[in-house]
Amino acid sequence: MTATYRNPVLNADWSDPDVIRVGDDFYLTASTFTKVPGLPILHSRDLVGWTIIGHAVTSGYADVRPGCGVWAPSLRHHDGRFWIFYGDPDVGICQVSAADPRGPWTAPHVVKPGSGLIDPCPLWDEDGQAYLVHGWAKSRAGINNRLTLHRMAPDASKVLDEGTLVIDADLLPGYRTLEGPKLYKHDGVYWIFAPAGGVEQGWQSVFRAESIFGPYEDRIVLEQGGTDVNGPHQGGWVDTRSGEHWFMHFQDRGPYGRVVHLQPMAWEDGWPVMGDKGEPVAEAALPVLGGVPGEPATSDDFAGPALGLQWSWQADPDPSWWELSHGTLRLTCVPGPEDLRDRGAVLGQRLPGAPCLVTTTLTLSGEGRAGLVVLGFTYAYVGLASTSDGPVLVCGDAEPVPVDGPVTGEAIFEAFTVDIERRSPWTSKGRGQ
């Protein structure tokens, strides 16, 4: 009987995934925006079971800045090092690298400064020349729907020219919001895999050319069709040691975030064919037999010397915010804005891609308020608050954050949750809210 898997293979908000293979190991990273730590590194032996093994960025902003920070990374392995390129739309294109994917990683280095530069991807060619392609965020640059290519220093320290517009999707019938390019070379042909049409209703296209600077011809290779997988969008192509080809991408599920699907891929007549004749599959044969089953951790018994790798903060944390002691997580009630969306001292996890049960034990000591929250454009919480008569159970919610214009891929949905399946003591101490 053939062993199979079912999509999504990562059923949580792992936005904008990219994936590579090094030997028998697969590695994946994803967008983290202003979460700290950022750029998680996931490991797999079969493209289906994944575990978190580290983070490539350990610091961020001192305050909460929704929609800023780390956008749509690309992950590569070159010259014995792992490289991640990402766009910070308010800073420019940045890169970090490491000899070991578990770290340590170098500090972020700006390869190309500028506003609205997003979704970068490098390519080191056989002749030693390096290149960098990127997209544009209209919210910062005033333009989008086009891809720019640079010659890049081989050490990824800087770009070497002003850039060439290699794809102007305004000239392509029906195209809108072309973004998220991934640059490859296959059988002597240059390829740019890039989604278009928006994260909710878009599709996945590929572009090919004999010269890296074009001209490129395009083809849509994955779209919803008759399936329930809307907007199959933005990801990475990877092969196995045995020569099979696969494509990982996300599906936008609104308030549940962007879950990750795995599609079989084959090359036919010089073009990639994804899924079932260009439509996403719900189930397929396992890419690699004998892999290591696993999924990113959610539960935490707080018995370790540090927080589990599944946890992150909304901004750079202060060490005084938390403490682990004898299987208990103690969180300080930190003074701050009434609106939880403006607080850095919120500890959370990626939102699960389906309804889930959250269980924990909470004790409130002293003055303050603590509890569980699902936090995004809007939020709802339940917890304890101190009163003159002692702690009382409280709950509440908040109105959505106003968004100018339609909600698109640039109106980033930021979701946080505390998702704990095993009961663990959680004690809050100190003063303030």
Active site residues: 16, 179
Distance CA 143, CA 161 (A): 20
Q: Assign 141 to helix, strand or coil.
A: helix
Residue 83, both tokens: 């490289």
Residue 207, both tokens: 């572009």
Distance CA 383, CA 394 (A): 5
Q: Assign 347 to helix, strand or coil.
A: strand
Distance CA 382, CA 356 (A): 16
Q: Assign 420 to helix, strand or coil.
A: coil
Distances in Å between the alpha carbon of 408 and those of 88, 197, 201, 404, 432?
17, 10, 10, 11, 37
Distance CA 376, CA 420 (A): 19
CA-based torsion, 59, 65, 68, 74: positive or negative: positive
